Amino acid sequence: MSKINLLPWREARRKELQNQFVISVAFVALVAAGIWGLVHFYYLQLIEVQDRRIAYVDEQIEVVDKKIEEIKELEREKDRLLARMRAIEQLQGNRPLIVRLFDEMVTSLPEGVTVKDIQQKGTTITINGLAQSNARVSSFMRQLESSEWLTNPNLKVIKEANVAGNKPVNSFTMTFSQVIPQAKDEDA
């Protein structure tokens, strides 16, 4: 007897193919989801590594900023100390000048001239004094002009005044400059 299959084999075949297709699609979707998950995890790891690097760089930037601030503070302290040193050096350098000033004034001061007041602003010196005559003031000015340490005498005021004993004297105000003489060359 011949074998004849009267069952609807095409429908069974179609269902079987459809089941295989659904299983294949589910398998592909599962594999795609797994690959997507792995790629997503990989990129999350990369992002986490970059975040750690950025955090490390930020920490190092903070450390460097603190060091820069310390360096700036040290520079300010250095500038303050250098300013103090320059002031001290200037004071040390000018210390003998006051002695030289009084020495030159004593040697330049003629007899009959009295100094009442001395004021110094920078290198300009102002003297208020009394003189027995105008000629003595002129002599004092010539002596100052010939000094190596004192120069440019300028008589501001001279007027007649009376002092105890009713002797007429001349009251005067004079300015001059204090200079530091230049060292002479020994070769010349």
Cα-based angle 86, 96, 83 (whole degrees, multiple of 5): 10
Could you tell me if residue 39 is inside a domain?
Answer: no
Could you tell me if residue 14 is inside a domain?
Answer: no
pLDDT of residue 183: 52
pLDDT of residue 187: 46
Cα–Cα nearest to 103, from 71, 149, 63, 58: 149
Q: 176, 169 in Cβ contact below 8 A?
A: no
Could you tell me if residue 121 is inside a domain?
Answer: yes
pTM for the whole structure? 0.49
Domain containing residue 99: 45-181
Looking at residue 89, which CATH number applies to its domain?
3.30.1360.100
Could you tell me if residue 117 is inside a domain?
Answer: yes
Q: 126, 119 in Cβ contact below 8 A?
A: yes
List the beta bridge partners of residue 173.
Answer: 128, 157
Could you tell me if residue 12 is inside a domain?
Answer: no
Could you tell me if residue 13 is inside a domain?
Answer: no
Q: 133, 102 in Cβ contact below 8 A?
A: no
pLDDT of residue 155: 85
Could you tell me if residue 23 is inside a domain?
Answer: no
Could you tell me if residue 133 is inside a domain?
Answer: yes
Number of domains in the chain: 1
Task: Determine the Cα–Cα distance for residues 84 and 180; give it in Å rounded to an integer.
Answer: 23
Output the 3-class SS for 37-106: HHHHHHHHHHHHHHHHHHHHHHHHHHHHHHHHHHHHHHHHHHHHHHHHHHHHHHHHHHHHHHHHHHHHHH
What is the full per-residue pLDDT of the chain (188 aa) written as tens digits? Answer: 677 766 777 888 889 999 999 999 999 999 999 999 999 999 999 999 999 999 999 999 999 999 999 999 999 999 999 999 998 887 777 677 777 778 887 888 888 888 889 898 878 889 998 888 888 888 888 888 888 878 888 888 888 877 666 677 888 999 988 887 665 544 44
Secondary element (H or E) of residue 158: strand 150-163
| Cβ count within 10 A of residue 124 | 13
What is the radius of gyration, based on Cα positions, of the chain? Answer: 52
